[in-house]
Structure 1
Amino acid sequence: MWLLLAMFFDGRMGVTACPSKLLWHIPCPSCGTTRALLLILKGGILEGISLNPNSIIAVVYLAVFPFLLLTDAIFQVHSVYDLYLFVNKVLSVRWVFVFILMFEFAVWIHNVWSGL
């Protein structure tokens, strides 16, 4: 919904939804993801990824999840739940979890450094 509103206002809503930025004036790792998604949807793939690398995850999620929901509804299967179980299993592996934490820390440093 937030992405649709941002698209309607062309990314100029003037609203900050990030609690970290509102309270402490420090961007969180996901700051800029909506703007990055808008850039990617308009064809600026590299610009979107450079604005916030988390946009890669969001694009994959937005591309795959509706099809999983549709598959579940039509064929009465549990693909969304199966995906949840798979992600839970992968995240329970310590080195994967540590890698994701390091990635998010790097994204956070990137966001602070670039002044998002």
Structure 2
Amino acid sequence: MTRNKLYSLLLIACFTGYAYLFYKINYLPNETFRVCFIKNVTGYSCPSCGATRAVSLLLEGKIIASLLLNPFGILLAIVMTVFPLWVLTDVILKKDSFFKTYTKTESFIRKPWIAAILILLVMLNWIWNIYKQL
């Protein structure tokens, strides 16, 4: 993937995430509307179910509640805060530090033992979500 394509996709994804979070907080605060395709089709939570609510809790300062709901929410909040700022800084300064870090991280994650650990963490979170009946 090229630098510009990665940066464009990341900024579009973050903007879409911000728009959905804004909509969810302001227009659907108590609704049980679910975007999750897996939950809608199977009735079972996916590993990321509850991440939007976890980010909402984090924005309210309820860190423990956010972690208990879905730890991916904290990761998502960090990504949606840091990555766009980093990408915009790269674009303005005509650098590619984010792209270089991304490619190094991607090659690191491709190591079988690292990938196995990350897959295990996702599976544990999925089991946790199903257990909580999100």
TM-score by length of 1: 0.91
CA 1:31–1:83 in structure 2 vs 1: closer, same or farther (change >3 Å)? Answer: same
Amino acid corresponding to residue 63 of structure 2 in structure 1: I
2:70 is aligned with 1:52: yes
- The equivalent residue for 1:61 is 79
2:129 is aligned with 1:111: yes
Q: Which runs of 4+ in 1 moved over 6 A?
A: none
2:33 is aligned with 1:15: yes
- Counterpart of 1:34 (choices 52, 61, 65) is 52
- Counterpart of 1:84 (choices 89, 102, 113) is 102
Q: 1:80, CA displacement in angstroms? A: 3.1
The 2-side partners of 1:48 and 1:34 are apart by 10
Q: 1:15, CA displacement in angstroms? A: 1.9
Q: Which runs of 5+ in 1 are unaligned?
A: none
CA contact (8 A) 2:90 2:97 kept: yes
CA contact (8 A) 2:54 2:73 kept: yes
Q: Which runs of 5+ in 2 are unaligned?
A: 1-18
Q: Which has the larger share of helix?
A: 2
Render the CA deviation track for 1:7-58: whole Å, top value 9, x for unaligned.
2236334321111111110000000000000000110011001100111211
SS in structure 1 opposite 2:49?
A: coil
CA contact (8 A) 1:36 1:51 kept: yes
The CA RMSD over aligned residues, in Å, is 1.4
